[in-house]
Amino acid sequence: MQMKCLKRSAIWNTLIDMPKARVLQLVTSFLRFKGDDSFNHLFMKRLVDRGVEIDVIVPHDRENSLGFEVIDGIRIHRFQYFFPKRFQRIAYHGGVAFNLANSWIAKAQFPFFMLSFFLKTAKHLRNHNIIHAQWVPSGLIAVFFKLLTGKPVVLWIHRMVYRNPITKALTSFVLNNADYVMFNASYTTKKAQAISNMRDFGIVSPSVDETLFRPMPKPGLRKKLGLSPSQKIIFSAGRFVEKKGFPYLVEAMKHVKAKDIVCVIAGYGPKERELKQLVKERGLEKKVLFVGRIPNAEIPLWMNEADLIVVPSIIDSTGETETLGIVAIEAIACAKPVIVSKVGGLVDVVKDGYNGFLVRQKQPLELAEKIDQAFKNPAKLKQLGKNARAHCEQNFSWDSAVEKTIKIYEKALRGI
């Protein structure tokens, strides 16, 4: 009895002595303005609701963004890295990795980007006791200030790409010097383990906006496309870039045997013209329909209108792929069965035969067979949808991600 009291007293004293987490978040994208969408915002808002103080260091957009503002209790400090601002080419509009890979202007601006990021961090670091960086470049800045100030660094890795020995060495350096590394999926975890000896790490998967992505009655969007109630809809969404694999979905639709199946694709991007040309060449104008770039709030409406979601991603020519697959998580949050390629972190989201199906990448015939298999058994398809929602609630909830993160912060502050 006395021993139990001593243990409870020790726990209580630890909680009393634990300083409040005051976190400086170093990110490369965030809300650009009120009404914009960002998974980081959903995550940080919930941390603030749990009593964590958060300041965010983030680059300016080339348009629309203010130097400082407070949204939902999150203090946002934006830095400009090139003048005039409208010529900035690194962040947003495709993302840092895409822009650096495809724009020589972005590459030329990168040293100015890192210097501005560094100076803005130095200006706002003093009143914080944890540095939380996302992605390796911001992690490099975080580790520098850790070595300078002794403040613990938490790193959240969403992608692992190193194309040369220098970036590989820098990535390894950041991973080895972080106090705790959070990964979004098993895929990124394994890639990091192959090049580092991390002190402590674990998987903390992001989620989606549960107020938007949820099961709901079919909203009737098919009427916009002139589709009848009897027609079945396959839905897919994403940027029209190589790693999304949309051409393989188009090719699969040529081989689908089930009748009255229509594939609706939402998105935009540099591959849009050639993707639409492929549809025309294959004579699929009535089977593959494009709805363009749609607002985030409209995606769950299309998902609920659909009978099946397909994420045909691939490993592209640069080695990029889906490190998790947010579209797939959005789909299972809407209680929809999903067919995904067996690449990257998608295997964490879909369990073959339980909440959808896994197929080999770049195999349109195999994808077509799985689509036919799904529509042959309506009862099985409905059960896959129920299982999908359960899998999402168990493995991809913001409550779980926030709870894990708070424990990581507490651990970092205790220095263990």
13 found inside a domain: no
Q: Do 200 and 230 lie in a common domain? A: no
Q: Do 197 and 263 lie in a common domain? A: no
152 found inside a domain: yes
C-alpha–C-alpha distance, residues 329 and 233, integer Å = 19
304 found inside a domain: yes
Q: Do 80 and 142 lie in a common domain? A: yes
> What is the predicted pLDDT for the residue at 85?
92
Q: How many helices (H) and strands (E) does the chain have?
A: 15, 14
Q: How many domains does the chain have?
A: 2
Predicted confidence (pLDDT) at residue 9 exceeds the cutoff of 70: no
Q: Do 231 and 311 lie in a common domain? A: yes
Strand partners, 3: none
166 found inside a domain: yes
7 found inside a domain: no
Output the pTM of the full model.
Answer: 0.89
Q: Do 99 and 139 lie in a common domain? A: yes
Q: In the numeric block, which tokens belong to residue 292?
A: 């363009």
Q: Which of 288, 286, 287 is nearest to 275 (CA)?
A: 288
Q: Do 185 and 292 lie in a common domain? A: no
Collect contacts of 82-91 with beta carbons under 8 A, ≥24 apart. 82/109, 82/112, 82/113, 85/60, 86/62, 87/62, 88/59, 88/60, 88/61, 88/62, 89/62, 90/59, 91/28, 91/29, 91/58, 91/59, 91/60, 91/61
Predicted confidence (pLDDT) at residue 201 exceeds the cutoff of 70: yes
57 found inside a domain: yes
Cβ-based neighbour number of residue 275 at 10 Å: 19
In Å, how far are 82, 91, 369 from 114, measured between CA atoms?
Answer: 11, 12, 48
What percent of the chain has pLDDT above 90? 83
Predicted confidence (pLDDT) at residue 411 exceeds the cutoff of 50: yes
Sheet with 74-79, edge to edge strand ranges = 68-71, 74-79, 53-59, 22-26, 130-134, 153-157, 180-183, 201-203
Mean pLDDT value across the chain:
92
285 found inside a domain: yes
> What is the predicted pLDDT for the residue at 18?
65
Q: Do 197 and 228 lie in a common domain? A: no
Q: Do 249 and 124 lie in a common domain? A: no
- Secondary element (H or E) of residue 74: strand 74-79
Q: Do 148 and 173 lie in a common domain? A: yes
Cβ-based neighbour number of residue 116 at 10 Å: 18
Residue linked to tokens 């103080």: 53
Residue linked to tokens 């006395």: 2
Q: Do 148 and 268 lie in a common domain? A: no
279 found inside a domain: yes
Q: Do 187 and 252 lie in a common domain? A: no
CATH number of the domain within which 358 lies:
3.40.50.2000
Predicted confidence (pLDDT) at residue 4 exceeds the cutoff of 50: no
pLDDT per position as a tens digit, 385-401: 999 999 999 999 999 99
Q: Do 45 and 194 lie in a common domain? A: yes
Q: Count Cβ atoms within 10 A of the Cβ of residue 292 and give its class: 0-12 exposed, 13-18 middle, 19 or more buried.
A: exposed
Collect contacts of 162-171 with beta carbons under 8 A, ≥24 apart. 162/195, 163/318, 163/319, 167/136, 168/195, 170/136, 170/140, 171/136, 171/195, 171/196
Q: In the numeric block, which tokens belong to residue 199?
A: 């002190």
Residue linked to tokens 């640069």: 318
Task: Tell me the residue range of the domain where 42 lies.
Answer: 19-207+397-414
